[in-house]
Structure 1
């Protein structure tokens, strides 16, 4: 099935109940969820351990932008929301900051992009409006357990490789 991105637009806000349940699910990746909630309240970002609830695939911005054929934030957001149908975080400290695609801990990944898992921490922003200058949600999770299918990410990255091969 071919997936086409919708027209770019602002992200759809999560209903409060889903936002609270999803925040609780994310915070539950840490053995001390109250510490995560406190970090979100104070700084807008918390370091969460990878492995228990989700892993992350670190994808260079150039690869994502090549696949989407744009570096325009609303365009990239709309495309990733439709194509990956799951949560994506972006390191916003620089224009070339990588994207982190959240996937299930035991899902297969056989591509060169780095998989971050157990014994690694990821800066995860608070759900809602961006407040951190370090990182932001590109696509927020919509319900507890909402994660990307790594097969969709793999297909997206192969698209970038194909486009690079055929462009002058």
Structure 2
């Protein structure tokens, strides 16, 4: 059955940072899907996929390959690269059910900057820690 998903190899053209839903919700302070799409689009300035069927909801920010540079957030938001495949939805899949674009790419080669994704993660961690105190 065609689900509108292509399995693409990561590492050469792009990588994907796996963002747990709880991390994204902490950073954006909302659970509204429309607000999440707008805020993630503004914060990351690049494409983001949402898979609400796996791991309690997961976002994937598509980024430029880091060419071997270290990724400081592997424990909470790993950067997936060479040797990993990602299910990428058709461009017209923009809402559930299943894997869909929260922020679709706007042009060929549209990707998030890794430093921008890292900043969102750092902010989410800080907000989560403050909420626990």
Range of TM-score over shorter length: 0.7 to 0.9
Deviates more, 1:116-125 or 1:131-140: 131-140
1:155 is paired with a residue whose SS is helix
Match of 1:96 among 41, 51, 56: 56
Aligned-pair CA distance for 1:131: 7.5
The CA RMSD measured in Å over matched residues stands at 2.1
Distance (whole Å) between structure 2 residues aligned to residue 163 and residue 80 of structure 1: 16
Output aligned runs, 1:55-66, within 5 Å: 55-66=15-26
Q: Of 47, 51, 54, which aligns to 2:11?
A: 51
TM-score, L = length of structure 2: 0.86
Matches within 5 A, 1:1-168: 42-93=2-53, 96-106=56-66, 108=69, 109-112=71-74, 113-130=77-94, 133-167=97-131, 168=133
CA drift of 1:95 comes to 8.4
SS of alignment partner, residue 43 of structure 1: coil
Q: Distance in 1 between matches of 2:86 and 2:110?
A: 17
Q: Whose RCO is larger (CA < 8 A, sep 6+)?
A: 2
Deviation at 1:92, TM superposition (A): 1.9
Is the Cα–Cα contact under 8 Å of residues 44 and 132 in structure 1 kept in the other structure?
A: no
Instruction: Specify the structure having the higher radius of gyration (Cα).
Output: 1
Q: Which protein has the bigger helix share?
A: 1
Structure 2: stretches of 5+ with no match in the other structure:
none
Contact 1:87–1:102 under 8 Å retained in 2: yes
- Structure 1: gaps of 5 or more residues: 1-38
Encode CA deviations 1:39-98: one digit per residue, 9 max, x unaligned.
9xx321111111121000101100010000112101111000001000100112168211
- If the length of structure 1 is used for normalisation, what is the TM-score? 0.69
- Higher share of residues assigned strand: 2
